[in-house]
Amino acid sequence: MSRSEPISTLLQFLAGTGARLRLYDMGRRVVQITRGQFLRFEQNQLPYPTPLNQQAWLALLLQEQKSSAEPVVWFLKFPLDEQAKLSLAARDDFMHRLVEHLGSDRTGTSDKGGRIETALENNPYGFKPRDDRLAIFHARISRLLKKPASKYYDHARAYFRGDLGWDQWSFVGYQGIADIAARLDEAENERMLIAALPELPITPLEAICHCLENETVSVQLATALLGACHTRLQQEHPSADAVAATVRGISRTRAVNLRRQLIGDVLASPLAEKAVVLAAVSGRAWESLTEDAMAALFLEKLARNGEGELFFNQCLSDLLFIPGMREPLLRAVRTPDRSTALSKAVGGFFQTLGSVNG
C-alpha cells in the first residue's frame, strides 16, 4: 500500500501495522468472518449479518508476521443503523483514537507490539466478553494456531466418556467443554458426545450445547441432539432449560431438516411458551424462522409467552433487526389466520413503536 494512499477503512489501517489479522463475530455465535465480508460491511455495502442489541460484536486477532509472541486480541463493538449497517462516524472515531495511540507512522517502531496490545485502554469501543464466550473463543483460537487444548480438556473428556460418573459434572472446567466442541473431529470426540447425550444431567447438557451452537455439527450429532430433545420432551416434568439447550446445540447444523424437525416439535410441545425456549429459537436458531409456517408457529407461541408483552416486544424487535428476517416475520403477522392473541400482541408492539418514534 502506498504511503500516500488515504486510509479509509479499519482493514487498511490495520494492514499498515504489518500484523496478520483474523476477524470473528462474538455476538450470537463465535464464528470467523472473512476479510472480504468485513470490508464490504465497512464500506456499507452489506449490513452486519448477525447484529445483537443493534451492535456488531467483534474479535480482531492480530499476530506479528515474524514473531513468536502471543497474538493480541481486540474485542470491539460498533453501533449499527436501522438497516444494521455500520455507523461510519463511530468507525472513524475509533480509527482517530487508534491513530492517536499508535501514532501516524504505522511502518514499525520498537514499541509497536506494545502499543497494539494496549490500544483499547480507555477506548469506548472495547468490551469484555462473558467468561463462557471467552472460553469458546480461546478454544477456537488454540485450534487455529495449532496449539494444544487447555489443561481442562482431558478431565472434560473423561467426564463425557462416562469415566467419572454423570453426577460429577461440577468438577468439569467450562474451558475443557469448549475445547471438546472446537475439536469434534479429534480423538473421537463427536462419537463420545453422541453416546453421552442421553445420560447428561441438565447443567452439562446446557454447557456442551451452548458450545455446539458455534459449530456446524454433523448429521450424526444433530440426530443425537434430536433424540435427546425427544427424550426430554417425553419426561413427566420436562425441563425447559434442557430442551432449549438442544435447540441451541442443533442451531448451526448442516442438517437443516433435522433442525427444522427439532424446532417444530419443540414449538408444538407444552414448553413452547417458555421464555428460555423462545429465546433459544429466536436468538440462536433464527434461520429456521425464514420459513412462513415456522415463523407463524413461533409468533403464535411468542404471543402467549409466560413473561408477557415486554418479552414479546423484545424478541420481535430483535428478530426484525436481523437482515433477512423482516419479510418472513411481517408476512406471518399479517396473515388473516393469526389468532386473537397474536393480533393483540402485534398491535401492542406497533403501538409501542409508534410512541417511541413519536
CB burial of residue 115 (10 Å; 0-12, 13-18, 19+): middle
| Residue in 267, 314, 313 with CA at minimum distance from that of residue 289 | 267
Average pLDDT over residues 229-234: 96
Average pLDDT over residues 236-260: 96
* pTM to 2 decimal places: 0.90
Bridge partners for 78 per DSSP: 56
Whole-number pLDDT of residue 346? 93
| Percent of residues, the chain, with pLDDT higher than 90 | 78
* Domain residue extents for the chain: 10-117, 152-357
Residue 107 has pLDDT above 60, yes or no: no
Whole-number pLDDT of residue 6? 57
pLDDT digits (tens, 9 = 90+) for 288-336: 999 999 999 999 999 999 999 999 999 999 999 999 999 999 999 888 8
Place of cell 470473528: 24
